[in-house]
């Protein structure tokens, strides 16, 4: 065996010395959201525990029903070689094994332990943040990143991870400070750009956010498909608040959809943006829905993350593929009924199932059922994962159902505070004018 250190200074045990460059591509590429992370697969013949565990993790990021099966051969080789690996590498192998087995509490606990004992293992830290994010645990995301700060303060990508943790905890000033520090250390830090976009959208800094994202978009090169499409998705949200619909459609066609159409995250970016455009009154055309739904139809038996399934279902229904949407709804119900771990049982049964019924009701024009079912899910929606900005789609659908069912008083109560927080939003102002007209308050209120 050959011992070396990775680019962050962590000791590694390799069977082939030449594998170090590929391993560093995974470590650096993963924390920088760059496509070169997949280069570790070029070293898959190296039976070192750490290399094989990284290959297994890459397969798991497919977020598909067959991902564990594809990851398992690599994991088995990693476990077989673990006896010759360092304690840090063995813990990473064990964390990936827990992920493959579906035991996310154990995976998270191992990543948290790794952050305490080996705070420069930022690939492990980012993977821990990923799991915590998917379980709606934003304080956990922040806590694990803070553990590494004393030992890795010079690494810009750690500050990007911190920024998103602060933002998801609603600590926006600290989020902005961390994001700007990350960008000062490295202008090409797309995760920090992403965190700052969240801050600016939340604070209603629409024009500033548009200009900021446009100003750093030249650095979005060599990124993984999620990061590049998602940052353009965020730019589309800024434009959508300004009623710049033609530009949003152009971004959808040119940047958001079509990079890796087979990938889950690219699919939900597409579903979410098309749905938001429709909620804003834009005709997106049947062809766009048909294109996306052809890929969603392959997801009926996934049930990997509830946040994903909800958007698959809505996309299928909006595309008119009702038989498949109802099949997915049945699969969600069956999966929910089979959950034994407490958190998963609560999320799938008490949040995902009613939300799924509500989304299908909205897509089929049953506004009262949409209000009733989504109303059950929304107070606990954070538990399904996703970010505030991503989950806002479900809130927008709920508000639309209130409007279409003529429930103007509760709609005013929810919509006006949003408009207060986002005075630059033409979208919200336009929606409020309709509300006040329906409430016979369309004088000074309706034109404000």
Q: What is the pLDDT of residues 68-124, one digit of tens each?
A: 999 999 999 999 999 999 999 999 999 999 999 999 999 999 999 999 999 999 999
Q: What is the DSSP annotation of 189-215?
A: -HHHHHHHHHHHHHTT-HHHHHHHHHH
Instruction: Decide: helix, strand or coil at residue 439.
Output: coil
Residue 137: per-residue pLDDT: 97
Phi and psi torsions of 223, nearest 5°: -85, 165
Residues of the chain with pLDDT under 70: 443-448
Which residues, 6 or more positions from 262, have their beta carbon under 8 angstroms from its beta carbon?
295
- Tokens 């070192």 locate to 48
Which residues, 6 or more positions from 148, have their beta carbon under 8 angstroms from its beta carbon?
115, 119, 120, 122, 125, 158
pLDDT digits (tens, 9 = 90+) for 124-148: 999 999 999 999 999 999 999 999 9
Distances 107 to 90, 124, 292, 413 between C-alpha atoms, Å: 13, 10, 32, 41
Residue 302: per-residue pLDDT: 95
Please compute, for residue 63, the number of CA atoms within 13 A of its CA located in the half-sphere on the CB side. Answer: 18
Question: Residue 14 is inside which H or E element, if any?
Answer: strand 11-14
12 strand-pairing partners = 4
Residue 448: per-residue pLDDT: 47
Residue 445: per-residue pLDDT: 61
């Amino acid at each position: 065996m050959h011992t070396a250190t990775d680019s962050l200074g962590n000791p590694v045990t390799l069977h082939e010395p030449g594998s170090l460059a590929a391993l560093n591509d995974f470590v650096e590429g993963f924390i920088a959201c760059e496509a070169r992370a997949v280069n570790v697969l070029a070293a898959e013949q190296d039976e070192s525990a750490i290399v094989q565990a990284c290959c297994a993790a890459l397969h798991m990021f497919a977020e598909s029903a067959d991902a564990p099966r594809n990851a398992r051969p690599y994991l088995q080789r990693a476990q077989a070689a673990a006896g010759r690996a360092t304690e840090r590498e063995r813990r990473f192998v064990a964390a990936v094994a827990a992920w493959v087995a579906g035991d996310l509490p154990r995976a998270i606990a191992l990543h948290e332990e790794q952050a305490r004992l080996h705070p420069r293992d930022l690939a492990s830290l980012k993977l821990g943040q990923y799991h915590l994010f998917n379980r709606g645990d934003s304080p956990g995301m922040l806590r694990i990143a803070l553990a590494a700060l004393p030992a890795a303060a010079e690494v810009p990508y750690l500050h990007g991870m911190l920024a998103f943790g602060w933002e998801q905890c609603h600590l926006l000033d600290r989020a902005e400070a961390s994001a700007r520090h990350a960008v000062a250390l490295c202008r090409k830090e797309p995760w920090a750009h992403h965190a700052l976009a969240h801050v600016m959208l939340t604070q209603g800094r629409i024009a500033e956010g548009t200009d900021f994202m446009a100003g750093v978009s030249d650095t979005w090169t060599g990124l993984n498909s999620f990061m590049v499409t998602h940052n353009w998705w965020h730019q589309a949200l800024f434009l959508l608040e300004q009623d710049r619909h033609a530009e949003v459609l152009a971004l959808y066609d040119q940047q958001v959809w079509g990079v890796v159409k087979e990938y889950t995250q690219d699919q939900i970016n597409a579903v979410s943006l098309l749905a938001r455009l429709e909620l804003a009154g834009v005709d997106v055309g049947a062809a766009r829905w048909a294109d996306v739904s052809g890929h969603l139809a392959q997801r009926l038996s996934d049930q990997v993350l509830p946040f994903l399934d909800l958007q698959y279902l809505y996309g299928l229904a909006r595309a008119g593929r009702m038989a498949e949407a109802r099949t997915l709804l049945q699969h969600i119900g069956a999966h929910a009924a089979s959950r034994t771990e407490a958190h998963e049982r609560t999320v799938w049964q008490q949040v995902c199932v009613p939300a799924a019924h509500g989304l299908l009701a909205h897509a089929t024009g049953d506004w009262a059922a949409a209000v009733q079912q989504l109303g059950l899910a929304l107070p606990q929606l954070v538990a399904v994962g996703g970010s505030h900005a991503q989950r806002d789609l479900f809130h927008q659908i709920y508000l639309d159902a209130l409007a279409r069912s003529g429930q103007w008083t509760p709609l005013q109560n929810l919509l006006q505070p949003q408009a207060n927080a986002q005075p630059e939003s033409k979208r919200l102002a336009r929606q409020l004018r309709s509300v006040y007209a329906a409430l016979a308050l369309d004088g000074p209120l309706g034109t404000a």
